[in-house]
């Protein structure tokens, strides 16, 4: 394990391997099915992969590409991919049909409304996931109820309400919000929890959400046009990380990329599990105060945790300054490189990569990961300026709060 540093802590994955029963969820075939569904939306456009040639040279790397999700469905974040696909899979299951039979034009039809009726989709969120669920429910003529943890911003709340959702900011943390919406859904007729964290007895919908996220991985893989040597991805509950790691582990079975997971130090439940080394889940409680609101989740998704244990090389716990550095570097690129409008959670992996490559304190980690001039690194900027005021404070005013 690396010695604790002010900005990053890291641990090499020494956890015992399992039978890897969840890896098949992210098979190329399953991900292609999700992408076909998303392509049926009239709002669908492939988001850009930004090739940062000058930045790669500056960092001493061969290639650095960042998937820019600030363009996704006009919602400024990737999360809608998971919620929309899970909702379609749920509706398909209720009607005993395959999701391939329910493209957007069918799901939004009067005939479907007569067959299925109306459900209320419940979710807890820091903003992006809930907005995606609300947007999809609104487009599909369904209802949504969204609960946000304390500290959530009014901007993100209002974005959700704009999608005809019933939405509130609570006085508890994210994980308690999850429990509250689950209880409320249970007492609501045709109430359905759409949450990207899985627990015992609630695993099917989170697995569909992960497969929905796979659309982003498939697009990026095709755009990258060669096997990445490294994939850096952020984690909250770990669903996104499990989806990205799972896809690339399936696609490149014989020679997978080196996978690195980056968390906010205030909510580094996966990192803590990796430090323990026994493969068991660790939970982080409390307020989880971090600018990386999308990563402020303290209870891992048990489905994705199994994938991560088997296929991630290193787990990183990052302080807020790392995400802020990533934001500034992506938003003010070197001459010749495109700008990536990246938010706090979106910039965390790039901030970690830049910190590792530019600070001598992390030379040992750099060498262990074999990050050098031959490395071809793929990263995901999962959100743009979803909270413009906070974004401006960090980028323009150099405030990290």
Residues marked as catalytic: 79, 126
DSSP code at position 26: G
DSSP code at position 200: T
**Cα dihedral 281/285/290/294 (nearest 10):** 60
Say if residues 173 and 150 touch (Cβ distance below 8 Å): yes
The phi, psi pair for 54, rounded to 5°, reads -70, -40
Cα separation, 207 vs 230, in Å, equals 24
Cα separation, 273 vs 292, in Å, equals 20
Cα separation, 221 vs 251, in Å, equals 9
Q: What is the 3-state secondary structure (H, E, C) of 343-387?
A: CCCCCHHHHHHHHHHHCHHHHHHHHHCCCCCCCEEEEEECECCCC
Cα separation, 76 vs 342, in Å, equals 9
* Count of H-run helices and E-run strands, the chain: 16, 11
Encoded tokens for 271: 């990192």
The phi, psi pair for 289, rounded to 5°, reads -75, 110
Cα separation, 124 vs 4, in Å, equals 32
Given strand 230-234, what is the order of strands in its sheet?
8-12, 314-318, 258-264, 230-234, 376-381, 63-68, 49-51
Largest CA distance in the chain: 63
Cα separation, 400 vs 393, in Å, equals 7
């Amino acid at each position: 394990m690396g010695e604790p540093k002010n900005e990053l802590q890291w641990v090499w994955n020494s956890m015992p391997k399992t039978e890897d029963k969840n890896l098949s969820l992210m098979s190329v075939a399953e991900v292609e099915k999700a992408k076909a569904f998303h392509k049926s939306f009239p709002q669908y456009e492939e988001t850009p992969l930004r090739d940062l040639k000058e930045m790669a040279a500056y960092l001493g790397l061969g290639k650095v590409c960042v998937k820019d999700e600030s363009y996704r469905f006009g919602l400024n974040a990737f999360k809608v991919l998971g919620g929309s696909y899970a909702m379609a899979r749920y509706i398909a299951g209720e009607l005993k049909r395959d999701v391939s039979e329910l493209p957007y034009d069918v799901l939004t039809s009067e005939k479907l409304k007569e067959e299925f009726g109306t459900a209320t989709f419940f979710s807890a969120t820091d903003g992006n996931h809930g907005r995606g669920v609300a947007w999809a429910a609104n487009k599909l003529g369904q209802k949504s109820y969204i609960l946000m943890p304390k500290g959530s911003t009014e901007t993100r709340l209002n974005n959700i309400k704009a999608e005809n959702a019933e939405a509130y900011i609570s006085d508890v943390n994210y994980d308690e919000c999850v429990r509250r919406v689950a209880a409320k859904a249970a007492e609501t007729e045709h109430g359905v929890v759409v949450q990207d964290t899985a627990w015992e007895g609630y695993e099917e919908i989170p697995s569909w959400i992960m497969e929905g996220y796979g659309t982003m991985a498939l697009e990026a893989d095709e755009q990258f046009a060669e096997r990445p040597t490294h994939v850096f991805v952020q984690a909250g509950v770990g669903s996104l990380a499990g989806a990205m790691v799972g896809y690339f582990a399936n696609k490149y079975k014989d020679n997978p990329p080196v996978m690195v997971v980056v968390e906010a130090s205030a909510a580094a439940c996966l990192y803590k599990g990796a430090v323990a080394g026994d493969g068991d889940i660790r939970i982080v409680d409390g307020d989880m105060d971090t600018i990386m609101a999308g990563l402020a989740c303290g209870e891992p998704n048990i489905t994705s945790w199994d994938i991560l244990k088997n296929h991630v090389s290193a787990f990183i716990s990052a302080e807020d300054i790392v995400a802020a550095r990533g934001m500034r570097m992506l938003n003010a690129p070197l001459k010749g490189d495109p700008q990536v409008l990246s938010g706090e959670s979106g910039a965390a992996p790039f901030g970690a990569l830049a910190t590792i490559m530019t600070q001598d304190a992390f030379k040992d980690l750099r060498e262990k990961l074999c990050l050098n001039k031959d490395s071809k690194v793929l990263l995901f900027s999962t959100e743009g300026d979803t909270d413009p005021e906070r974004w401006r404070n960090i980028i323009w005013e150099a405030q990290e709060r």
